Amino acid sequence: MSLPFITSAPGKVIIFGEHSAVYNEPAVAASVSSLRTYLLVSQHEDPEAVELDFPDIQFKHKWSHSEFGCILKGETNSRALEMARTNTRELSQFLVESLESLHSDLKKSLFYHAAFSFSYLYICLCPQVKGVRFSIRSTLPIGAGLGSSASVSVALALAMNRLSGAITSDRELSIEDKKLVEEWSFVGEKCILGTPSGIDNAVATHGNAVLFKREMDGTTNFEFVDDFPQIPMLLTYTKIPRSTKTLVSNVRELVSKHPNIVKPILVAMGQLATRGAEILDSLSDENYHELLELVRVNHGLLVGLGVSHPGLEAVRSLSDSLEIGSTKLTGAGGGGCALTILKKDAKQSAVKQFKDTLENEHGYALYQTQLGGIGCSILPREAISDQDLKKIRILFTEDFDSKHLDQVLLPGECTLPWIT
Ligand SMILES: Nc1ncnc2c1ncn2[C@@H]1O[C@H](COP(=O)(O)OP(=O)(O)O)[C@@H](O)[C@H]1O
Ligand SMILES: C[C@@](O)(CCOP(=O)(O)O)CC(=O)O
Ligand SMILES: [Mg+2]
């Protein structure tokens, strides 16, 4: 595989069923194909180096390949690694402990999970590769509920499977390629957040909109929502930081404390997601009102799980009082983003007041973006001209804003021949 090459994966919006999805309930999500993570895999000046460069979170780390030797060498280790590679449903205890001691200097840092997830995938997928740098840039807000963690895992899983030779397609990614990316990006999400449902990385891999369900045996089951309707909606980013890992584990505590009360809430969310998907599949003037109702109910149930935040309630309450539509938190909650589905007859002046108040009085950011579209994608070296390569290298090394990244790299919009 010639270097450099680039991979990319989109963020997502969960429309129904965040949190309950972790408990094998169905959920509906769509990719946000214009908000993406890009990964540049390039040659390192040092032939022994494996370097991670994550400027968005100001994290850079370089390993010498020999540092991984203590994990890779020996017959017992080889057997344990083989298990880790074949049984992707559980993280390998051997690898978790080995990486913990290798990264003991990072243990207390905020970046531990990013380094852990990267090196877990690296050891499993392409441990023979060295003299390489992995640089990530994203136009997604991080920790906002739009699936930045999953898009990073998908971009890494695609790149590492390409480096190992497991993915070789040069015209179109096949169903098998995407299955492999989905499987390994789920492992990456597990490293970052413990017990993910798999919906975020499934959407970031396959794109479009899906009704998703993880079965009890660990397999994933999803149906694409055909012709996903472009619903008039607004995404509000409260800029309130939070961690998906913490929120998911808080809900787990609540479930184990009050199973008889909380489990029915999760089941109701699953029912709601199934009905929501039916409506989205055949959206009409008649059932549009029901869609708005389901959004309202879903938010109320999430409040019951304790994953809202006063900052999100401010968005919900303003959309209610201006009567513009229904608002729910999206993603793990606790801050991050809220999704407002607008009423068909929402007054333009009220929508404007909604946006102005949130931006000017609360300092929130509003995104107007289309849902659905391209999933993971790859740009091989052969498809990049030397001139474009120069531009791309600059984007990954200098502090450019996301507009520049989009102009040069956005799949479907730019002129580069992305393989999807
Ligand atoms: N651009 C990025 N560069 C490096 N790491 C990232 C990036 N985006 C996300 N991550 C990883 O994902 C974590 C945030 O994931 P999470 O809490 O699940 O929020 P969300 O997925 O909603 O954005 C970060 O702490 C970091 O480990
Ligand atoms: C809370 C959850 O349903 C969604 C988390 O999404 P995000 O990381 O907040 O973008 C967890 C999951 O489904 O894995
Ligand atoms: Mg996440």
Task: Tell me the CATH number at 152.
Answer: 3.30.230.10
Atom of ligand 2 nearest to the CA of 198: 14
Count CA within 13 A, CB hemisphere, residue 100.
8
CA atoms of 217 and 215, how far apart (whole Å)? 5
Query: Angle at Cα 49 formed by Cα 46 and Cα 55, nearest 5°?
Result: 100
State residue 366's pLDDT score: 96
| Cα of 18 from ligand 1 centre, angstroms | 17
| 302 and 382 part of one domain | no
**Owning domain of residue 32:** 5-227+373-409
| 171 and 64 part of one domain | yes
Q: Which of 89, 92, 157 is nearest to 125 (CA)?
A: 157
- Cβ(26)–Cβ(213) below 8 Å: yes
Structure tokens at 391: 């531009």
231 Cβ below 6 A of ligand 1: no
- Distances from the Cα of 67 to the Cα of 63, 265, 285, 324, angstroms: 7, 47, 61, 57
- pLDDT tens for residues 359-387? 999 999 999 888 999 999 999 999 999 99
State residue 225's pLDDT score: 83
Tokens 């531009």 correspond to what residue? 391
Whole-model pTM over 0.95: yes
- pLDDT tens for residues 225-261? 877 888 999 999 999 999 999 999 999 999 999 999 9
| Cα of 202 from ligand 2 centre, angstroms | 12
Q: List active site positions.
A: 200
Give the ligand at the shortest distance from the Cα of 152: 1
- Distances from the Cα of 265 to the Cα of 255, 298, 335, 382, angstroms: 10, 10, 21, 51
| Cα of 331 from ligand 3 centre, angstroms | 8
- pLDDT tens for residues 18-42? 999 999 999 999 999 899 999 999 9
Count of the separate structural domains present in the chain: 2
| 380 and 252 part of one domain | no
| Cα of 245 from ligand 1 centre, angstroms | 11
In a domain, 358, yes or no: yes
Whole-complex ipTM: 0.98
Give the ligand at the shortest distance from the Cα of 332: 2
Atom of ligand 1 nearest to the CA of 142: 23
Atom of ligand 2 nearest to the CA of 11: 10
State residue 159's pLDDT score: 98
State residue 1's pLDDT score: 66
| 159 and 269 part of one domain | no
Element holding 269 (H helix, E strand) = helix 259-281
53 Cβ below 6 A of ligand 1: no
In a domain, 162, yes or no: yes
CA atoms of 289 and 96, how far apart (whole Å)? 48
| 41 and 124 part of one domain | yes
Regions of the chain with pLDDT less than 70: 1
State residue 400's pLDDT score: 73
298 Cβ below 6 A of ligand 2: no
